[in-house]
Amino acid sequence: MQLNQIILQIGSKVFTLLDVLLASGALAFVLILVTLIVTWRGHRNRKSESLETMRRASELEYRLAEMAGTLRNFADQSQGAQAHLTRTLDERLDHVGQRIGLGLNDQAERTTQSLTHLYERLAVIDAAQKNLTSLSTEMISLKDILSNKQARGAYGQGRMEAIIRDGLHAKAYAFQPTLTNGMRPDCLISLPDSELKLVIDAKFPLEAFNTLREAKGDGDIRVAEARLRSDVSRHVKDIAEKYLITGETHETAIMFVPSESIYADLHEKFEDIIQKAHRARVIIASPNVLMLLIQTMQAIFKDSAMREQAHVIKIEVMRLLEDVGRLKERVSDLQKHFGNANSDLEKLSLSAEKIVKRGLRIESLDVEEPAKLADAKPKLVSSND
């Protein structure tokens, strides 16, 4: 086989046997060279690793020595810290024991004080219980009072009198007066600027309300409602016939109900009775309504008193205006006086300035020429200087 024989063609590139042999030889040479280099580097690396191993062993021994010293130091420090910790714990335990002892003593004292206050409050509760017992007894007696017609009238009279006394002047009302027809209403109130008196009656029928509240069945309730309408209507009629006197009393009278609940029940369930009372010119009033009426009348009395004193107020206002006029004149005179005083002060200031200027001129004169001063004629000073 010839060396120039073509054995491989890649594209337009042609490779002969000689080219292939040369390429193979070059490749073999490169492989041998690489093998030698790798072997040499492996030998050098093993030598370097041996030296590094020895260095690391020496460093490890040094580190172990340092660590042993550190461990000994740490053991010494730990022993010292443990002793210090033991002392500190003993001191803290003693302090905590003292504080706990003081706290227990303080807590015992506080507990004693709390028990003392508790005993005191129990005593107050016992007293309150006794008061409640006495109050229940009084409520029972109040029920007995309300069940008695005369006593109930006295109770309503007392509440009405308390409201009127708190709101009106003593001259504006009278209790249990006698009218021209011989009747004696519970209260008469004098109206301002009028000869008529307002009548207030405090005897309200309560038996029918008690019967209605105690009724259980529908039949008993209807009977109690009928009785209530009858009793209240009869009482309204009695007030209108006995106390509404033309020319002596006001055309409207007040029927006082000493209970807000009864007043509310009347307006809620017995509107016909309220309307019948209005037609009879009788106004049903609870304690709150009566209080409002008294406050309104109090304002009316105050307004009437102000009207009576209006002429006195007018005279005082006229006198006040005269005093203000005189004050204005005196202020004007004083203003003129201050104007004159300011003018005089300006003149004095002008004279003082001229004197100062003249003194400055005298000071500037030459004292070494007396002949000239003797020959100089003094100037006449004008009145303005």
Q: Is 66 exposed, middle or buried (0-12, 13-18, 19+ CB in 10 A)?
A: exposed
pLDDT of residue 286: 87
DSSP string, 223-236: HHHHHHHHHHHHHH
d(CA 189, CA 199): 7
Domain 151-308 class in CATH = alpha beta
Residue 151's pLDDT is 46
Tell me the whole-structure pTM to 2 decimals. Answer: 0.43
Sign of CA dihedral 334, 337, 341, 343: positive
Sign of CA dihedral 85, 86, 89, 91: negative
User: What are the structure tokens assigned to 130, written together?
Assistant: 């006794």
pLDDT 10s per residue in the chain (385 long)?
555 666 666 666 666 666 667 777 777 778 888 888 888 777 777 777 777 777 787 787 787 778 777 877 877 787 777 778 788 888 888 888 788 878 778 887 888 888 788 778 878 887 877 777 766 665 544 454 444 454 445 557 888 888 888 888 888 888 888 888 888 888 988 887 778 888 998 887 777 777 877 878 888 888 888 888 888 888 889 988 888 888 888 888 999 888 888 888 888 888 888 898 889 999 888 888 888 888 888 888 887 777 777 777 778 778 878 888 887 788 787 778 777 777 877 877 888 788 878 778 777 765 445 545 455 544 444 444 4
DSSP annotation of 255 reads E
Convert 160-171 into a string of H (helix), E (strand) and C (coil). Answer: HHHHHHHHCCHH
Q: Note whether 249 and 243 are within 8 A (CB).
A: yes
Give residue 45's pLDDT.
Answer: 73
CA distance 124 to 132: 12
pLDDT of residue 7: 62
Q: What is the pLDDT of residue 344?
A: 76
Of 293, 287, 288, 292, nearest to 204 (Cα)? Answer: 287
Q: Where are the domains of the chain?
A: 1-41, 98-147, 151-308, 320-346
Taking 3-state DSSP, the helix, strand and coil percentages for the chain, each rounded to the nearest 5, stand at 75, 10, 15
